[in-house]
Structure 1
């Protein structure tokens, strides 16, 4: 039986991927966290994954820019 929130989680995942891409940021490991399907979480978890230092710096800069308005 599929998790009841898979489509919702996939939609949020794609929205996050698109928002990151708009800032030139790609997280190669971005995806749904498989173990969360077996747990008691209300919805699947999104794994942000690993990134190199350049990507971490770009992500931090984009978040700071967004927070500044």
Structure 2
């Protein structure tokens, strides 16, 4: 398996885990995806694109993060 393939599979796993965790918190980020340009290099470093969200979703994310941090 090539380094690019391994990096892409790991990024897809991380993306899926994030999508599932957000869903459990009642959060949907419609633009959540992999940034294809970030793994096109010879030494790929895939990035997860979180995209934009509305104010309600931003507050849900903030609440979930604060709850996890014990605030």
CA RMSD of aligned residues (A): 2.0
Count of residue pairs brought into register by the alignment: 69
Post-superposition offset of 1:37: 1.8
Residues 55/40 of structure 1: CA separation in 2 closer, same or farther (3 Å cut): farther
**Structure 2, unaligned stretches of length 5 or more?**
none
Q: State the alpha-carbon separation in 1 of the partners of residues 49 and 43 from structure 2.
A: 14
Partner of 1:43 in structure 2? 45
Partner of 1:6 in structure 2? 8
Residues 41/27 of structure 1: CA separation in 2 closer, same or farther (3 Å cut): farther
2:38 and 2:44 in contact (8 A); partners too: no
Q: State the alpha-carbon separation in 2 of the partners of residues 67 and 9 from structure 1.
A: 25
Post-superposition offset of 1:42: 4.6
Partner of 1:67 in structure 2? 69
Runs ≥4 residues deviating over 6 A: none
Residues 7/54 of structure 1: CA separation in 2 closer, same or farther (3 Å cut): same
State the secondary structure of the residue aligned to 1:46: strand
